[in-house]
Amino acid sequence: MDRLRLWLARAHPVAFVLFAGLAGFCAYFSMYAFRKPFTAATFDVVAGWDFALDYKVALVIAQVAGYALSKLAGVKLIAEMRPERRAIAILVLIGISWLALVLFAVVPAPWNVAALFLNGLPLGLIWGLVFGFMEGRRTSEVLGAILCASFILSSGVVKSVGKALMDTASVSPFWMPAATGVVFMPLLAISVLALAALPPPSPADEAERVARRPMMAKERTAFLAAHWPALLLLVSAYVALTAFRDLRDNFAAEIWRALGYGDAADVFTASEGPVAALSLVTMGLLILVKNNGRALLLIHGVILAGFALMGLSTLAFQQHLLSPIAWMIASGAGLYLAYTPFNAMLFDRMIAYTGTVATAGFLIYVADASGYMGSVVLLLVRNIAAIDLPWLPFFITAAYATSAVGMTLVAVAAALFLRSHTRGAQSA
């Protein structure tokens, strides 16, 4: 391991990016095999479930509630995590989540809904642990883009694997999530070992992107106090994005069935491949922008373009200008163009621009904790507040609302940042 770490420290940047990016991609890709496969099943009729709330909606709410609670805890845990503990923490947390999936299979309804809460509880910390290996480097844009591509592509792939297990191997919908996790365990172990071998950011990385250190409560409070107006607007936009993304992700089976593609297992993967490629290229190109202030403005522009594409592609679909698959690809591209910067580049560049010795994981988890709480609220509103819309019309309405709200919030945040950026340039 030491020899590999030494080689990586001396490796050409392209070789380092390929190794580190692939390791991060595979690690987070594997995590999704423990989180999302259950959504490939529709659970139309479940023995023992006699409640007005739909059983699958209850499962999604339970898991997202655990995930949101984990994100809230991550504001402190990820900010204070020591780098040498990240790898073992990833393996332990995902192991706990798999045991929860086994409980889901063996415990009858309605009690097995609690197993999905336990499943989501440890998984919310994985992103921060994996991204901790990527941030604060001169190549962080490319590494972050590769890492973000993992959650775009993996959700469709693991759901395709889960559906294939049910269709071809006759695995029950209740055992399918745990079985899908087993399929990805070897990849998880190898990729986490590779992450553990990565050297810390070099002195040159720190000179350009600022040193990254654990943040205690005092440092976290000071950072929020100094930058709260723009952060409040951006986090609010991210809440809308996360709620819409979870709606699209968790109920993809129902949406595709309404569009006439309910029997195709590979449709989940086919729709996400182009989305992942577009996001990877767009975000990776930001590495060419060395000035942190200019890069931060460009990232705001990318987010705005993503929100606009979500709304315009939905309008084109309703006007019969786009086919269902083209619409899902285009709206997904808009969603992830807006969503992915929040999970890596936006806060990494913000810290570099402010010159604060900190960790981007802290800001990511502030946004994520808020975002997943918004996702729970959206599901509860639809199912409890007498909104009797089928999934497809509800999804279309949510796309328009997310696009309009997001564009407004990010535009104001960009204006605030541009004003501070101009003042800083004039005083320099």
Cβ neighbours around 411 below 10 Å, total:
16
Distances (CA, A) of 102 to 1, 44, 108, 234, 238: 33, 21, 12, 38, 32
Q: What is the pLDDT of residue 426?
A: 47
Q: What pLDDT score does 427 carry?
A: 46
CA dist 60 and 376 (Å) reads 9
pLDDT at 232: 92
C-beta atoms surrounding 21 within 10 Å? 22
Q: Can you give the pLDDT at residue 389?
A: 62
User: What pLDDT score was predicted for residue 273?
Assistant: 66
Distance from C-alpha of 110 to C-alpha of 54, rounded to nearest angstrom: 11
| Residues 70/100, Cβ–Cβ less than 8 Å | no
- Which residues are CB-contacts of 73 (< 8 A; sequence separation ≥ 6)? 124, 125
pTM tops 0.85: no
CA distance linking residue 41 with residue 253, whole number of Å: 7
The tokens for 35 are: 């989180």
Give the Cα separation of 320 and 137 in Å (integer). 45
Q: How many residues are given for the chain? A: 428
- Rounded distance between C-alpha atoms, residue 177 and residue 179, angstroms: 5
* Gap between the Cα atoms of 159 and 162, Å rounded: 5
Query: What does pLDDT average to in each consecutive run of 10 residues of the chain (428 residues)?
Result: 88 94 96 92 87 87 89 89 93 97 95 96 94 89 84 83 92 95 97 95 86 83 85 92 82 80 58 69 78 87 93 95 88 87 83 79 85 75 62 88 95 84 51
| pLDDT at residue 346 in the model | 86
**What is the predicted pLDDT for the residue at 370?**
85
Residue 269 is predicted with a pLDDT of 58
Q: What is the Cα–Cα distance from 335 to 354, expressed in whole angstroms?
A: 27
Q: What is the pLDDT of residue 265?
A: 46
